[in-house]
Each structure stands twice: as structure tokens, then as C-alpha cells.
């Protein structure tokens, strides 16, 4: 560790955090924090982290290394990662250390930071742009100005940049668990069109587990083109950036409302809210982690959920077109919407986890039931 280059994180408010360099030499992006104790590879490869530098609140990362199977997409999307301490891999599945993985993909890393102090700073002052660099010749003042000049997440359509460029089919179920039996084959029952705003692979696996043949389409696909596929249901995926800025998304979802069952997750949930006439807003520091408590208002059940978002639906702007189905128990923000008359629902959290608990996995079964009911009534 002594041979590693020194590096700094300088925030837009002038705060400076020093440590040693991992991976790439520099990154500029929105600095956020994640409270998960595990799953750093899934976090790095989640397209929702486009343009962000992720601070891992838990002090030890890297003990399971990295491998090809745990990625949520083809490459990392986070531009940087900040750690208290990186561990050498001690897992038989590991093919590359976390440091090696960051270096391979050019993702800048910073180790040796008091991440508790940094997280407290972001909670107090809010998520903000920052510059992570090994360049010791540039002054902190100059780096502060550079961070302030970086674009805000508000108004950015990042989903259009990470969406698939081609239509493709998906039928592969969740891979066999390492210590469990091989999954039973599931007969294909439904055809689902997934609108890709920056999806995670685990979502496609879970849909396939419910007997879905999934057609994945680009985010700009029109309602007419989606309906021409004659789907049993439409799935609105997660993704990065400002939901109100995603080109054409609000109008497309509004045009689909009531014509086919819909299920939205994270950014898809926010876009569903916009299509219903609600407004969205940028949160002070967002929810990112695998330990967020959410209450189902219909059943009273509390689920521990995985989350990754910096925007939320404004409950006061929702009107009577839908009702809030779930709330966050930490800050009472909207965590779910239900539109029974339109056979549509959404959640702000990630029932597919990756990383995180599977408390809410049953929501994929709920979507299947909704499609089965629609088919029965057709």
C-alpha cells in the first residue's frame, strides 16, 4: 500500500478527503454513498450509477474479489469508488481483485478515507459533484471549481445513453444457486416487453423465472411500437438520471396506461408517476443500500429492501389517479404506486436486489398474476 499513489477527492463545497489510489487515475461525477455491506461488483455495474462516484459506507470491501457472473451489465457504469479499506480476495469464485477490476476498466478508486466522515458530510450537505484525482500539482481550489462546473443530475437524460441500441429477446432464468438445486424449468406463459432505461440483468432473470419471454426495447420506443408486439405486459426498468428528462418516456407510458398490465421499478416507477400527472424531485442524498425499510400500506408488512435512487415521486402532486401503496419508514417518501383501474403498479426499490435481500421478490409473481388475469378476461 505504501507504493500506491496518493489521491484526493475534492467536493464542490471545498471539502477535501485524501487517501491512496486504486484503479484509474481520475474521475469527475456526483459523489453518493451506499450503505450495503456487500455487492460492490453489482453496484459498479448497475447502469443507475452512470456518472457517479460511489462511497461504500461499510469499511471493508474486496474480500470476495470479482468474477464475470456477478456483473449486472457488460461493464462498470460508476466512474469512481471510495473505500475505507480494500481486502485481498479470499473466495474460490474470484478471478480478479477489486483493485485489479477497477484498473482493468479504468474506474478511479480511493482507499484509506474515513468513509464515516464522508458519509456524514454528504448527509449534512447533500450529494454533490466531486473530482477524484492523483494529480498533486492542481490546487484544491482549482479542483473545487472544476467540481462546481460539472453538470447537475437534474435535467440530465442519462437513460438514453445507456439503453440498448437493438431489440433482443431474453428467456434465461436465474442461474443455479451455488449451494442449491438446479432451478426447475418454467413453461413460457407470457410475452413481456421491457423498456430499457438502464436495466439490471437480474430483473430479466426474475421475469424469466415467472415464465416470461422478454423482448427488450430501447427507451425511445413508442407506445405504438410496443403494442404492435402484442405483449401480455410491459415492464419499465430502472435507470440513471432525472426521470423528467428521459426523452419521450412520460408520453409513451401515458399512452400505454390501461391498455396492458405494467410494472415499474425505480426509474420506471418515477416515469409511471410522471405519466399519471405527478411531479418528481431530487432528494438531498437519496437512498442507496440494501437495508431500507419499506411498509406495504395494504398489508402492514415491512420489507427490508435494496435501493438506488436520487429522485422521488412527490406524493402531494399525485392526485386521485393512483394511490401510494408503499412508504419508506425512514423518511416517509413514496416507495410504491398502484393504479388498479389501469392494471399498473410500481415500486421505488429493487425487488430483484443484486445486491440485497429478496424480501420483495414476490412482486414479480404479482406481475404474472396481473397478466394472467388480463389474459383470462380477454
Over 90: is that where the pLDDT of 184 sits?
no
Over 80: is that where the pLDDT of 1 sits?
no
The DSSP secondary-structure symbol of 176 reads: P
Give the pLDDT band of residue 182 (cuts 50, 70, 90). Answer: low
Question: How confident is the model over 199-214, as pLDDT tens digits?
Answer: 999 999 999 999 999 9
| Mean local confidence (pLDDT), 174-191 | 74
| Mean local confidence (pLDDT), 164-187 | 79
Give the residues across from 290 on adjacent strands.
Answer: none
Q: Which three cell numbers stand for residue 370?
A: 396481473
Cis link prior to 91 (omega < 30° from 0)?
no
| Mean local confidence (pLDDT), 148-176 | 94
Over 90: is that where the pLDDT of 185 sits?
no
| Mean local confidence (pLDDT), 233-261 | 97
Distance CA 317, CA 279 (A): 6
Three-state SS for 139?
coil
Distance CA 366, CA 354 (A): 20
| Share in percent of the chain as helix, strand, coil (round to 5) | 25, 30, 40
Question: How confident is the model over 337-372, as pLDDT tens digits?
Answer: 999 999 999 999 999 988 888 888 899 999 999 999
Angle of CA points 320, 313, 273, to nearest 5° = 55
Residue-level length of the chain: 378
| Given the residues 30, 210, 335, 352, the one annotated as active site | 352
pLDDT value, residue 321? 85
Q: Which three cell numbers stand for residue 320?
A: 386521485
Distance CA 221, CA 350 (A): 23
Residue 228 Cα to chain centre, angstroms? 29
pLDDT value, residue 320? 86
| Mean local confidence (pLDDT), 306-326 | 94
Is 352 assigned a catalytic role?
yes
Question: How confident is the model over 265-294, as pLDDT tens digits?
Answer: 999 999 999 999 999 999 999 999 999 999
Domains by residue range for the chain, with CATH: 6-149 (3.50.30.20), 159-377 (3.40.50.880)
Distance CA 112, CA 274 (A): 41
Q: Residue 143 phi/psi, 5° resolution?
A: -70, -35
- Helix 267-275 vs helix 249-256: angle between axes, to the nearest 10 degrees? 70
By CB atoms closer than 10 A (0-12, 13-18, 19+), residue 340 is exposed
Q: Check: CB of residue 95 under 8 Å from CB of residue 41.
A: no
Distance CA 69, CA 203 (A): 15
Give the pLDDT band of residue 2 (cuts 50, 70, 90). Answer: very low
Q: Output the average pLDDT for the chain.
A: 94
pLDDT value, residue 93? 92
Q: Which three cell numbers stand for residue 117?
A: 466522515
| Mean local confidence (pLDDT), 65-73 | 93
Place of cell 478471478: 95
pLDDT value, residue 181? 61
Write the DSSP assignment of 50-114 as a string of letters: TTEEEEE-SSEE-TT-B-GGG-SSSS---SEEEESEEPPP--TT-SB-HHHHHHHHT-EEEES--
pLDDT value, residue 179? 47
By CB atoms closer than 10 A (0-12, 13-18, 19+), residue 343 is buried
Question: How confident is the model over 14-58, as pLDDT tens digits?
Answer: 999 999 999 999 999 999 999 999 999 999 999 999 999 999 999
Give the pLDDT band of residue 141 (cuts 50, 70, 90). Answer: very high
How many Cα atoms within 13 Å fall on the side-chain side of residue 44? 32
Q: Check: CB of residue 174 under 8 Å from CB of residue 183.
A: yes
The bridge status of strand 52-56 relative to strand 26-34 is parallel
Over 70: is that where the pLDDT of 177 sits?
no
* Strand runs labelled E in the chain: 6-11, 16-23, 26-34, 52-56, 60-61, 80-83, 85-86, 108-111, 128-133, 168-170, 190-196, 212-218, 233-236, 262-265, 280-296, 302-313, 323-328, 334-339, 344-347
| Given the residues 266, 269, 287, 335, the one annotated as active site | 266
Q: Check: CB of residue 306 under 8 Å from CB of residue 292.
A: yes
Give the pLDDT band of residue 175 (cuts 50, 70, 90). Answer: confident
Amino acid at each position: 500500500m505504501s507504493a500506491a499513489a496518493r489521491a484526493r477527492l475534492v467536493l464542490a463545497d471545498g471539502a477535501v478527503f485524501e487517501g491512496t489510489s486504486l484503479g484509474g487515475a481520475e474521475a469527475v461525477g456526483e459523489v453518493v454513498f451506499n450503505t450495503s455491506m456487500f455487492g460492490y461488483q453489482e453496484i459498479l455495474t448497475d447502469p443507475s450509477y452512470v456518472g457517479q462516484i460511489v462511497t461504500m459506507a461499510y469499511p471493508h470491501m474486496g474480500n470476495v474479489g470479482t468474477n464475470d457472473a456477478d456483473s449486472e451489465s457488460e461493464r462498470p457504469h460508476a466512474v469512481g469508488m471510495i473505500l475505507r479499506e480494500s481486502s485481498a480476495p479470499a473466495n474460490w469464485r474470484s478471478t480478479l481483485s477489486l483493485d485489479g477490476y477497477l484498473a482493468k476498466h479504468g474506474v478511479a478508486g480511493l482507499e484509506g478515507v474515513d468513509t464515516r466522515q464522508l458519509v456524514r458530510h454528504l448527509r449534512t450537505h447533500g450529494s454533490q459533484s466531486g473530482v477524484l484525482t492523483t494529480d498533486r500539482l492542481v490546487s484544491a481550489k482549482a479542483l473545487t471549481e472544476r467540481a462546481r462546473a460539472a453538470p447537475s443530475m437534474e435535467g440530465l437524460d442519462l437513460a438514453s445513453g445507456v439503453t440498448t441500441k437493438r431489440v433482443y429477446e431474453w428467456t434465461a432464468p436465474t442461474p443455479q444457486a451455488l449451494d442449491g438445486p438446479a432451478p426447475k424449468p418454467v413453461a413460457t406463459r407470457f410475452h413481456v416487453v421491457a423498456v430499457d432505461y438502464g436495466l439490471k440483468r437480474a430483473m430479466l432473470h426474475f421475469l424469466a423465472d415467472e415464465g416470461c419471454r422478454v423482448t427488450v426495447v430501447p427507451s425511445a420506443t413508442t407506445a405504438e411500437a410496443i403494442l404492435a408486439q402484442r405483449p401480455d405486459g410491459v415492464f419499465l426498468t430502472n435507470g440513471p438520471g432525472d426521470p423528467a428528462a428521459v426523452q419521450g418516456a412520460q408520453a409513451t407510458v401515458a399512452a400505454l396506461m390501461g391498455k396492458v398490465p405494467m410494472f415499474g421499478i425505480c426509474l420506471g416507477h418515477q416515469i409511471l408517476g410522471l405519466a399519471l400527472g405527478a411531479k418528481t424531485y431530487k432528494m438531498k442524498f437519496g437512498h442507496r443500500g440494501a437495508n431500507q425499510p419499506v411498509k406495504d400500506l395494504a398489508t402492514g408488512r415491512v420489507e427490508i429492501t435494496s435501493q438506488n435512487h436520487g429522485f422521488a415521486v412527490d406524493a402531494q402532486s399525485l392526485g386521485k389517479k393512483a394511490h401510494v401503496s408503499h412508504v419508506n419508514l425512514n423518511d416517509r417518501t413514496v416507495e410504491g404506486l398502484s393504479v388498479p383501474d389501469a392494471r399498473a403498479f410500481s415500486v421505488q426499490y429493487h425487488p430483484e436486489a443484486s445486491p440485497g435481500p429478496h424480501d420483495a421478490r414476490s412482486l414479480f409473481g404479482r406481475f404474472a398474476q396481473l397478466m394472467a388475469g388480463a389474459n383470462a378476461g380477454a
